[in-house]
Structure 1
Amino acid sequence: MVDYIVTVYTSDLAFAGTFNNVHIKLVGTDGVSNRTWLLGLKGPLSFYKGAVSSFTVSCPVSIGKLILIEIEGQPLITFFTDNWFPAKVEVKSPEGDTYNFPIYRWLTNSEVHRFREGTALRVFEDTHDLGKYSRNEELKERKEDYCWKEYLEGTPHCMKSEDPLDLPDEVQFSFTKTTEFGYTAATGLSALGLSGISDSTENWPDMDTLNRVSCCKLTDILEYVQKHWKEDAFFGYQFLNGINPMLIQRCSVLPNNFPVTDDMVFLSGQHSLADEMEKGNIFLCDYKRLDGLIPNIINGMKQYLMAPLILLHKTPDDQMMPIAIQLKQTPADDNPIFFPTDSEYDWLTAKIFVRSADFNEHQLNVHLLRTHLLAEVFAVSLLRNVPMVHPLYKLLVPHTRYTLQINNLARGLLISKTGIFTKFAASGGEGMKTILKRSLSSVTYRSLCIPDDIADRGLEDVPNFYYRDDGLQLWEIIHRFVQGVLNFYYKNDDEVQKDTELQTWISDIFEHGFLSQPSTGIPESFTTVAELVKFVTMVIFTCSGQHSAVNTGQFDYGGWMPNNPVTLKRAPPIKKGTTSENTMLRTLPDINTTVQGMSTVWLLSRQSTDSVYLGQYPEEHFSDKMPCKLTKDFQGDLQVLSAIINARNNNLKVPYTYLDPKVIENSVSL
């Protein structure tokens, strides 16, 4: 007889343990062990939360190199079947070899569950019959569990599930996440001190009242926003380092529909637009995706959402200053161009309309579509088409954590017919559908890759652009890590081309994420290792850094409503000199709309205590030594970047923290 020492690690997640009888079967290249009941000295506590328990499985002779294990849980007579979350199983063979079997999923029934040994195998090198059978059966089950669904025509497809509980257990929130998210959602109004006014459909009577209700739960940045939101320098700063740094671009030729002249913006005659554009000092933000939308009806009143154009000038002291704002796309007598030299409230009202447009553009295009919806596509395609033993699965599965459930909740609570966004945002309803369709049609592969995107927008040398500075460094760190891992598994381009699972993954993404549109530049297949490395880098960056950049600061910049109005309820002025503080107050959203907007961005900015941050991998999917070494190098590089960011932020009035690896979650989980 020969003995195999089996060590079972149960996760320390809440309720991860089980009192079930657990049986195991070892499957090797030369044979199979008997189905063995794992009964140890700890008895029923062998598989308690956080337990590590060892057992002996005896065989008449060695069964060779281990390929997989079969685990089966059977309820005790006096107990019902309870769920179990084993982290991993280690098996030490009589030859002295140690085999790792990563699991990291809920086992919720008494069926036989098969798990492969942790050494990554691509499909063409998985040659053992039992291994191939297990691989095929896993993908067959996954294709049944993870199905595509068209949520809205012209937008990325999503996971087919009507309710979070319909999702497979392995992708649902943990108990901790569920509890904290539910509590934050239920208590947001009271936490912000807004419960007593949440039903009021009145106007804000004065700015002092708005100031008083907004002072609860102030962050340092939010306090700065509240004090400086009227200032032109801060208005321009937000296009670089606020929650939507994705729209600004260098302007070399004025759009035909933005008839700004030198004497409008350079009254002293010291500059000309042509000269400043040639020097690279003129920048444009164009909200053309919002043009012609049908605005929402809120509290029985028609709302207003403009599609403005903004011209900005980089001054000699490196500030990004707005110099002209046109609130509608088509020039007309009743569509004046506003300037800093206009009256205080003409200029401030124009900026408020820009900030409201930015809220809607940011939420639907930059945040929802370009991070949440695309991350879901990447995740569903991975879970449908790539088995656990594949190196791509091991590399990417940490970046899918909670994404399917948070998106399911968003579709149910935020953008459904009765959702908060639909009810209280200017672009809710039909406008939302139009923006999402237009947004997907404008997405390109290059715009999802920050080095290409920064170059295409001409922003390589803009000063004080911390999103770019941190983002490019983060991209390079992720790229180096991905390149190291994938070059370890793919020695040449031929191996990429013949990996059918890899090709199915990208094909599904091209079809269901980008609706088979070649104009996006998204690859339909991979032909080289370099192509694969870049695309996987983009996926990880999108799910981690990019989402953090456009999500984490929502309460910082949106908690003070006038800086980020979810909607506006009066038309913009068609003639200068007709505005005042009173007209501004009547233009701002009603009290209840403001309250709903504040509580929502509060919820979306609250990370849970079980968050997993970039570079942290509590689930050990890789067993090969090289990926494990590369992971440690990756973590070291992220620590260095974090130190660089913190050192810089010490000298800034408004620190930029959203791409600090210490606050970036691995996945779109909020």
Structure 2
Amino acid sequence: MAEYKLEITTGDVQYAGTSDYIYVTLVGTEGQSERTLMDNYGFDFQTGASGSYTVKTSFSLGKLLLVKVEKNQYLCLPEDEWYFSKMVVTTPEGDVILYPCYRWIGRGEMVELRGGRAMKAFEDDHPLLIDHRKKEMMLKKSLFQWKSMGEGLPHINSFNDVSEIPAEMRFSDSRIADFNYSRKKIGIELKIKGLLGSTAYWETIEDMKKIFWFKKTTMSEYVADHWMEDDFFGYQFLNGVNPGVIKRCSELPINFPVTEEMVKPFLEVGSSLQKEIEKGNMFLYDQKKMDGIPPAAYNGEPLHVTAGLCLLNVNPENKLMPIAIQLNQQPSEKNPIFLPSDPETDWLLAKMFIKNADCMDHESVHHFMRTHFLAEVFAVAALCSFPVIHPMYKLLLPHFRHTLHINIRARLSVLGPDGALNNSSLGLDGVKELMRRDLSEMTYSSLCLPENIAARGLESIPNFYYRDDGLKLWNIIQSFVKAVVEHYYPSDCEVHRDTELQDWISEIFTHGFLGNKASGFPAAFHTVEEVVKFTTMVIFTPTVQHAAVNSGQYDYNSWAPNSTLRLRKPPPTTKGQSSMTTVLETLPNVGDTVLLAGMLWLLSDRYSNYIPLGTYPEERFDEPEPKQMIKEFQAALSCLSEAITTRNSHLELPYTYLDPAEIENSVSI
């Protein structure tokens, strides 16, 4: 008689337990056990509980291959799904094998689990395992499919509603409750104040400080007090919510005719425009990819989109200062170059139109397309290419936890007919054209932070905390990925032989980057080094990069004068004709302002089931080596978190968005 000891764990999530019967069958190379009821004295399979059970066989089953778990009705009780986390089996020979599940199981359903070491397809040598892998992939490819979001845009998952995606990939009930509570609280406050849906215009700038009673952050209050200041305007290009747009200016664009006479008063005494360029102190913001996109209409009249240029200079105090702004690409008498010495409201309006264009670019391109939608591409490709036993599936899945759910919701709430981006100066059609243009020009190197920073010439610009923290995080993630990948792929030959790995990168190249060879994105993997670099980027994008462009949205953009998606009046075409009344008339009306502020509150909040970067509550690796690698990864992140906290304690404006403790492990909001 042989005895197999089983420890079965029920998930610690709401309503995870079950009253139904649970049966287990063990399948080995020498045969299989009888279908055995898992039944102890008292209540089994309660939420968060583990239970120990025994399966007896008349002979050893040999090497265990599969575990079959069935859920059947108990008496006449109503249906209750069971969230089955994992099973650990101890064999008569003393082997201890992990069988991860981490999914909901319905009544009458049977799941077959593989355990033990993560395995690549060419390593399976038993007909039963080969057949199991084949059937699993057929099922996954039928479930996870692609559809178009629009010509020239990344493809998306084929689900039309969150109810269609597997339950374990949806938000928990508690997170949904948190989100709905916040949304209801926001709506009630805005209705009580008479702000929601108001078509009135703001009478004073100070009135905008009264939108919310309690939703204030140290940073949002700082923004409201300092938004007019030039040094704060420049600071945001480094450490605000869109830190990926400026580049070092080695020569002025021919369509931006800034002269020495114009900017000399704003440069260091004794210096010149050419000297500052040669010293590497000049930087350029150029929104040329927005040029020519037709604006949206508002009350039957077209709005205004400015594809502007802004020249910035690092001054002797190491502050990045705007010194010249042109609001459209082609210079003309109706498109003057604005300077800090111009009338105060002229200069202020010029900065506001630059920030309006930057806000639309940030939300549509750098936030939604370059983090949310790319994360979805990486996720769907993984889900339809890798079986759960594959090492890359185990490595990547935690970083795609809720991506499908949040993206399906975002396409309705942000990109839908009533969404924030449809109410921008570009409108939904314009936003999609902007994303389309960006994707057509996107390069692999632009998503790899070390190369991105070098290409933009920002290696030495001072006070660039996004760069400093981001590069450290890139190196920590890369070190972790390198260790895991090299453990499972000891040679380039292993990479070549892994057809599932090749399927994954092919899916991404085809559906994410639309087969654009000029982009530099790989269509296949040839070396271990290529896998390490690409996987580092794939994990960095929905974690670190998403935190950089998402977490500070309420801080910086809820104050409409600093940054808004819509401006109502046209940009100034002559100098000396504006006033603070012009500024107020240019800002969106009360209802539009509070809608955007409310959305940014929701996007920047933290909800239940928050999982910080490097935290893996689901135990998927069974081998000691990757478990140790995860511990070392977490230790490095903790050390960096302490260093960032210490650094921030000495800063007037702490940069917290890339503190590992503040970075979620996947795109989840």
* TM-score normalised by length of structure 2: 0.98
Deviations 1:282-323 (A, max 9, x none): 000111122112222235553222111000001111000000
Name the aligned partner's letter for residue 452 of structure 1: E
- Relative distance call for 1:27 and 1:195 in structure 2 (3 A) is farther
Deviation at 1:600, TM superposition (A): 0.6
Q: Secondary structure at the match of 1:265?
A: helix
**Distance in 2 between the 1:339 and 1:382 partners?**
50
Give 1:206 deviation, angstroms.
1.5
Change (3 A) 1:102 1:614: same
Q: Is the 8 A contact 2:366 2:549 kept in 1?
A: yes
Number of the residue aligned with 1:73: 71
Amino acid at match of 1:344: E
SS at match of 2:105: coil
What are the superposed Cα offsets for residues 33-82 of structure 1, whole Å, 9 maximum, x if unpaired? 1111111112xx21110111111111111101212211110011312332
| Partner residue, 1:280 | 280
Higher mean C-alpha displacement, 620-629 vs 188-197 = 188-197
Distance 2:161 2:45 in 1: 30
1:573 is aligned to 572
CA displacement at 1:601 relative to structure 2: 0.5
In structure 2, distance between residues paired with 1:305 and 1:186:
33
Per-residue CA distance 1:194-232 (angstroms, 9 max, x = gap): 752111112111123223336641100111111110000
Rounded to whole Å, the distance in 1 between the matches of 2:250 and 2:297 is: 39
1:133: Cα distance to partner?
1.2
Match in the other structure for 1:221: 219
In structure 2, give the amino acid aligned to 1:315.
N
User: Following the alignment from structure 1 to structure 2, what is the Cα–Cα distance between the partners of residues 622 and 275?
Assistant: 57
Deviation at 1:616, TM superposition (A): 0.5
Distance 2:660 2:499 in 1: 34
Q: Secondary structure at the residue paired with 2:570? A: coil
Deviations 1:599-620 (A, max 9, x none): 0111100121211110100001
CA contact (8 A) 2:211 2:594 kept: no
Q: Give yes or no for the alignment of 1:397 onto 2:394.
A: no
Hey, what does 2:541 align to over in structure 1? 542
Report the Cα offset of residue 31 of structure 1.
1.6
Indicate the SS of the match to 1:539.
helix
Runs of 4+ in structure 1 deviating by more than 6 angstroms, as ranges, are none
Three-state SS of the structure 2 residue aligned to 1:421 is coil
Give the equivalent residue in structure 2 for 1:585.
584
Greater alpha carbon shift after TM alignment, 166-175 vs 565-574: 166-175
Q: Which residue of 2 is the match for residue 234 of structure 1? A: 232
Is the 8 Å Cα contact of residues 190 and 196 (structure 2) preserved in structure 1? no
What's the CA shift for 1:108? 2.4
* Matched letter for residue 245 of structure 1: P
Distance 2:619 2:566 in 1: 46
Structure 1 residues 436 and 33: alpha-carbon distance in aligned structure 2, compared to 1, 3 A threshold: same
The answer to whether the 8 A contact 2:69-2:111 is kept is: yes
Identify the residue that residue 518 of structure 2 maps to in structure 1: 519
Report the AA paired with residue 442 of structure 2: V
Residue number in structure 1 paired with 2:92:
94
| Structure 1: stretches of 5+ with no match in the other structure | none
The SS at the match of 2:5 is: strand
Q: Which residue of 2 aligns with 1:265?
A: 263
**Tell me, what secondary structure is at the counterpart of 2:605?**
coil
Give the deviation of 1:106 after TM superposition.
Answer: 1.1
In structure 2, the residue matched to 1:368 is: 368
CA displacement 1:418-457 (0-9 Å, x = unmatched): 32331x2212221112111011112111000000000000
- Equivalent residue of 2:534, what SS? helix
Task: Give the letter for the 2:337 counterpart.
Answer: I
For 1:69 and 1:586, how far apart are their aligned partners in 2?
Answer: 68
Q: Distance in 2 between matches of 1:473 and 1:291?
A: 35
Q: For 1:260-659, what aligned pairs fall within 5 Å after superposition?
A: 260-267=258-265, 270-422=270-422, 424-659=423-658
CA drift at 1:417: 2.3
Residue range with higher mean Cα deviation, 340-349 or 128-137: 128-137
**What residue identity is the alignment partner of 2:430?**
G
Instruction: Tell me, in whole angstroms, the C-alpha distance in 2 between the residues paired with 1:668 and 1:420.
Output: 19
Cα drift, residue 129 of structure 1 = 1.1
| Secondary structure of 1:85 counterpart | strand
Q: Distance in 2 between matches of 1:194 and 1:292?
A: 41
Specify the alignment match of 1:159 in structure 2.
157
Please state how far the C-alpha of 1:180 moved relative to its aligned partner. Answer: 1.3
How far apart in 1 are the matches of 2:309 and 2:337? Answer: 9
1:360·1:425 contact (CA, 8 Å) conserved in 2? yes
1: CA distance between counterparts of 2:212 and 2:79?
A: 49
Please tell me whether the aligned partners of residues 73 and 107 of structure 2 are also in contact (alpha carbons under 8 angstroms): no
C-alpha distance in 1, partners of 2:54/2:279?
75
Shift of 1:651: 0.8
Residues 240-259 of structure 1: CA distance to partner in whole angstroms, max 9, x if unpaired?
00000010100001111101
Residue in 2 aligned with 1:5? 5
Contact 2:71–2:108 under 8 Å retained in 1: yes
Q: Would the aligned equivalents of 2:190 and 2:594 in 1 still touch at CA under 8 Å? A: no
RMSD: 1.3
* Partner Cα distance (2:657, 2:67) in 1: 42
Paired residue secondary structure (1:311): strand
Deviation at 1:191? 5.2
Change (3 A) 1:620 1:192: farther
User: What is the alpha-carbon distance in structure 1 between the residues aligned to residue 192 and residue 504 of structure 2?
Assistant: 46
Q: Is the 8 A contact 2:189 2:212 kept in 1?
A: no
Q: 2: CA distance between counterparts of 1:25 and 1:137?
A: 19
Deviations 1:349-406 (A, max 9, x none): 1011111111100001100000000000000000111011000000000000110010
How far has the Cα of 1:560 moved from its partner?
Answer: 1.0
8 Å CA contact 1:506–1:524 kept in 2: the answer is yes
Aligned residue in 2 for 1:127: 125
Conservation of the 8 A alpha-carbon contact between 2:364 and 2:421: no
How far apart are the structure 2 equivalents of 1:264 and 1:434? 35
Unaligned runs of 5+ in 2: none
**Amino acid paired to 1:629:** Q
Aligned to 1:212: 210
Contact 2:230/2:321, CA 8 A, preserved across alignment: yes
Quick one: distance in 2 between partners of 1:413 and 1:222? 24
C-alpha distance in structure 1 between counterparts of 2:465 and 2:189, whole Å: 31
CA distance in 2, matches of 1:368, 1:521: 21
Out of 313-322 and 68-77, give the one that drifted further.
Answer: 68-77
Q: Secondary structure at the match of 2:103?
A: coil
Distance 1:412 1:513 in 2: 20
Contact 2:421 2:431 (C-alpha < 8 Å) held by counterparts: no
Residue in 2 that maps onto 1:21? 21
Identity of aligned residues (%): 46
Change (3 A) 1:661 1:346: same
Superposition pairs of residues 248-259 of structure 1, within 5 angstroms: 248-259=246-257
- Residue aligned with 1:347, SS: helix
Report deviation, 1:327. 0.5
Q: Distance in 1 between matches of 2:181 and 2:212?
A: 21
Tell me which amino acid in the other structure corresponds to 2:56. Answer: S
What do the CA deviations read for 1:136-181 (whole angstroms, capped 9, x no partner)? 1111111111110101111000000111101122211111112112
Letter in 1 for 2:569: R
Instruction: Kindly indicate whether the alpha-carbon contact (under 8 Å) linking 1:415 and 1:428 is maintained by their aligned counterparts in 2.
Output: no
Match of 2:427, SS state, is coil
Aligned 8 A contact 1:301 1:569 in 2 = no
What is the identity, as a one-letter code, of the residue corresponding to 2:404? Answer: L
- Secondary structure at 1:357's aligned position in 2? helix
| Contact 2:287–2:357 under 8 Å retained in 1 | yes
CA contact (8 A) 1:192 1:217 kept: no
Aligned-pair CA distance for 1:128: 1.1
